[in-house]
Structure 1
Amino acid sequence: MSIEWVNRAIDGLRAWGRDKDVEVDVDEVRLLCDYASDYLEVNELGDFRPGTFEELLLEIYPRKVIAPPESAPETVAAARTLVEFLLETGEIGSKTAERMRATIDEIEPEMPRALADTTKFGMAKSLFSAIGPDSLDLPGPSSRTGTGESGGEDGPGCDCPGCAPLPAVRLPAREEVVRAVREVPLLLDAHRVVTWMAEGGRTTTVRRALRVRDARVIAEELGIGRPALVWRLAVELGLARLDGTAVAAAEGFRPLDARADEELLDLWAGTLEFLIEGQAALTGEDVVDGGMSSIHDLLYRLQSPVPVEALADYLREVAPDRPVGPLDEALTGLTYTGTVQWSEDGLCLTPHGLWGLRELYTGMGMEAPLAPELAEGDASGLIAGLITDGLPADAAEREIVSWLSRRAPEQAAAELLAAVAGAPAEVRGIAVTIVDRLGPEAAEVVRSYLDDAELRPHAIHWLSSRGLDAPALTPEEVLWVSVDMLALALPAAEADPEGFAENIAASGPPAHLIEDMWRVEHPDVVEVLELLGNTLPDRAAAKAARKAAFKARSRGIR
Structure 2
Amino acid sequence: MSIEWVNRAIDGLRVWGNEKGVEVDVDEVRLLCDYASDYLEVHELGDFRPGTFEELLLEIYPRKVIAPPETAPETVAAARTLIEFLVETGEIATKAAARMRATLDRIGPEMPAALADTSKFGMAKSIFSAIGADSLELGDPLPVQGATTEAVRDTATLDEDCDCPGCAPLPPVRLAPAAEIAAAVREVPLLRDAHTVAAWLADQNRTTTVRKALRVKDARLITQELGVARPALAWRLALELGLADLAGTAVVKEPGFRPLHARAQEDVLDLWVGTVEFLGEEGREVTGETLVDDAIYSLHDLLYRLQEPVPFDQVGDYLREVGDGGLVEDLPAALAALSYAGTVRLTPGGLTLTEHGQWGLREMYDELGLDAPVSADLAAGDAESLITGLLNDWSPDDVTERDVDRWLSARSPADAAAELLAAVAGAPAQVRGVAVTIVDRLGHAAEPSVRDRLSDPELRPHAIHWLSSRGLDAPPLTEDEMLWFTVDMLALALPAAEADPERFAENMGASGPPPEVIEDLWRVEHPDLVAVLELLGQTLPDDMAAKAARKAAFKARSRGIR
TM-score by length of 2: 0.81
- The 8 Å contact of residues 413 and 445 in structure 1, kept in 2 or not, is answered as yes
Aligned to 1:524: 532
- Offset from partner CA, 1:165-222 (integer Å, 9 cap, x none): 3332222211211111111111111122123323333221122210122123333444
Aligned counterparts, 1:235-384, within 5 A = 235-320=239-324, 323-325=327-329, 327-375=331-379, 379=383, 381-384=385-388
SS in 2 for 1:133: coil
In the other structure, the counterpart of 1:36 is 36
Change (3 A) 1:330 1:475: farther
Q: 1:218 to 1:446 in 2, by over 3 A?
A: same
> Structure 2: how far apart are the matches of 1:247 and 1:321?
33
Q: How many residues align?
A: 535
C-alpha RMSD of matched pairs (Å): 3.9
Q: Secondary structure at the match of 2:287?
A: coil
Q: Which residue of 2 aligns with 1:537?
A: none
Query: Which sections of structure 1, spanning at least 5 residues, go unmatched?
Result: 534-544
1:217 aligns with 2:221: yes
Alpha-carbon distance change, 556 to 525 in structure 1, aligned in 2, over 3 angstroms:
closer
**Residues 533, 553 of structure 2: 8 Å contact kept:** no
C-alpha contact 2:539 2:546 (8 A) present in aligned 1? no
Q: Percent identity?
A: 61
Do the aligned partners of 1:14 and 1:24 also contact (CA within 8 Å) in 2? no
Determine which of 434, 437, 452 is the counterpart of 1:430.
434
Tell me the secondary structure at the aligned position of residue 355 of structure 1: helix
* Rounded Cα–Cα distance in structure 2 between residues aligned with 1:185 and 1:23: 55
Aligned residue for 1:276, secondary structure, equals: helix
1:196 is the counterpart of 2:200: yes
2:17 is the counterpart of 1:17: no
Measured at CA, do residues 372 and 239 of structure 1 come closer, stay the same or move farther in structure 2, by a change above 3 Å? Answer: same
The yes-or-no answer on 1:119 pairing with 2:119 is yes
Secondary structure in 2 matching 1:203: coil
| Conserved 8 A contact 1:375-1:382 | yes
Q: Which moved more, 1:77-86 or 1:185-194?
A: 77-86
Aligned residues of 1:66 and 1:145 also touching (Cα < 8 A): no
Q: Give the conservation status (yes or no) of the 8 Å contact 1:240–1:250.
A: yes
User: How far, CA to CA, are the matches of 2:359 and 2:446 in structure 1?
Assistant: 37
Render the CA deviation track for 1:360-392: whole Å, top value 9, x for unaligned: 122222232223333466645533432343321
Kept after mapping to 2: 8 A contact 1:339/1:353: yes
Shift of the 531–255 alpha-carbon distance from structure 1 to 2, 3 Å rule, reads farther
Q: Report the alpha carbon displacement of residue 531 of structure 1 after superposing the two structures with TM.
A: 6.5
In 2, Cα distance between equivalents of 1:286 and 1:24: 33
Structure 1 residue 322: Cα displacement: 5.1
Pairing 1:181–2:185 present? yes
Sort the Cα spacing of 1:451 and 1:24 in 2 relative to 1 into closer, same or farther, 3 A.
farther
Which stretch shows the higher mean deviation, 424-433 or 244-253? 424-433
- The answer to whether the Cα contact below 8 Å between 1:476 and 1:520 also exists between their aligned partners in 2 is no
State the distance in 2 between where 1:504 and 1:367 align.
43
Matching of residue 385 in structure 1 with residue 385 in structure 2:
no
Match of 2:158 in 1: 157
- In 2, the alpha carbon distance for the partners of 1:220 and 1:81 equals 58
C-alpha distance in 1 between matches for 2:184 and 2:445: 38
Question: Aligned partners of 2:34 and 2:501: how far apart in 1?
Answer: 32
Change (3 A) 1:451 1:344: same
Residue 47, structure 1, aligned to residue 11, structure 2: no
Q: 1: distance between equivalents of 2:500 and 2:329?
A: 27
Q: In structure 1, how many angstroms separate the alpha carbons of the residues matched to 2:110 and 2:544? A: 43
Q: 1:410 to 1:75 in 2, by over 3 A?
A: farther
Output the amino acid matched with 1:524: V
Counterpart CA distance in 2 for 1:8 and 1:39 is: 15
Is 2:69 aligned against 1:69? yes
The correspondence of residues 463-478 of structure 1 with structure 2, limited to 5 A, is 463-465=467-469, 468-473=472-477
Pair 336,129 (structure 1): closer, same or farther in 2 beyond 3 Å = same
Contact 1:204-1:246 within 8 A present in 2 as well: yes
Answer yes or no: is the 8 Å Cα contact 1:490–1:528 preserved in 2.
no
**TM-score (ref. length: structure 1):** 0.81
Deviates more, 1:513-522 or 1:382-391: 513-522
Instruction: Name the SS of the counterpart of 2:79 in structure 1.
Output: helix
Distance 1:34 1:427, change over 3 A: farther
Counterpart of 1:248 in 2: which secondary structure?
strand
Superposed displacement of residue 231, structure 1: 0.2
**Structure-1 separation of matches of 2:110 and 2:508:** 44
Taking the aligned partners of 1:161 and 1:518, their CA distance within structure 2 comes to 46
Match of 1:230 among 203, 227, 234: 234
Report if the CA contact (8 A) 2:293-2:325 is conserved. no
